[in-house]
Amino acid sequence: MVDVGDEAPDFAVPLAGGAAYNDLDDFRLSDRIGDGPVVLAFYPAAFTGGCTEEMCTFSDRLSDFEALDADVYGISVDLPFAQNVWMETEDIDVPMLSDWDHEVIRKYDVVYGDMYDRIEVAQRSVFVIDDDGIVTYRWIREGENPDFETFVPEVREAVAAAAE
């Protein structure tokens, strides 16, 4: 289990930019380390109510994170093409990482194995990683979704602490 104080596991996945169906790039976490804090916001599935609310709230507050030189990434097991359509449909500006082969949710130990008693997805969770690649904040949902209007500013405070 990845916890506060651990080195963040590295990974490489497709990055969905949201500008078009095929707006794809490569992303490797280790290439991003050292350029300011990184927020990895794992969510179960695009096009679902709670996930849309969460990512729209992060998107609405993206400038608060950018002011700290932090980058926020949503991450799910959805294919990047679906993520792009979702981002475009919901006007989400947070870039999305596609863990289509479920490698990252296993590395971070955030596997939710029984969505609809049928599929394995990411458990809703957030990790903040500092410039040294160390996890400085970890939150994993237990029970109901948080109030995202208050939760996202709490994550921003964790990012501010990581940026110091």
Asked, for residue 33, whether it belongs to a domain, the answer is yes
Tens digit of each residue's pLDDT (9 = 90 or more) over 14-41: 999 999 989 999 999 999 999 999 999 9
- The pLDDT, as a whole number, for residue 57 is 96
pLDDT at 45 (0 to 100): 92
pLDDT confidence of residue 118: 65
- For the segment 118-147, the average pLDDT, to the nearest whole number, is 92
Q: Is 123 domain-assigned? A: yes
Here the CATH number for the domain that contains residue 32 is: 3.40.30.10
Q: Is residue 46 part of a domain?
A: yes
Q: Is residue 2 part of a domain?
A: no
Give the per-residue pLDDT at 117: 59
Domain extent at residue 119: 12-163
The total number of structural domains in the chain stands at 1
pLDDT of 9 higher than 70: yes
The answer to whether residue 1 is domain-embedded is no
Distance between CA atoms of residues 109 and 115, nearest Å: 16
Q: Is residue 22 assigned to a domain?
A: yes
Note if 56 is an active site residue.
no
Are 136 and 161 in contact by the 8 Å Cβ rule? The answer is yes
Binned at pLDDT 50, 70 and 90, residue 70 comes out as: very high
Name the band, by pLDDT with cuts 50, 70 and 90, for residue 115.
Answer: low
For residues 73 and 95, what is the distance between their CA atoms, to the nearest angstrom?
5
Measured CA to CA, the distance from residue 27 to residue 14 in angstroms comes to 6
Q: How confident is the model at residue 62 (pLDDT cuts 50, 70, 90)?
A: very high
Residue 164 has pLDDT above 90, yes or no: no
Task: Determine, yes or no, domain membership for 93.
Answer: yes
pLDDT category at 136 given cuts 50, 70, 90 is: very high
Residues in the chain: 164
> 2, 51, 72, 122: which is the annotated catalytic residue?
51
Going 154 to 31 to 62 to 107, the CA torsion angle's sign is negative
Q: pLDDT at residue 105 above 60?
A: yes
Residue 91 is assigned to a structural domain of this protein: yes
Provide the percentage of residues in the chain whose pLDDT is more than 70. Answer: 97
Residue 119 has pLDDT above 80, yes or no: no
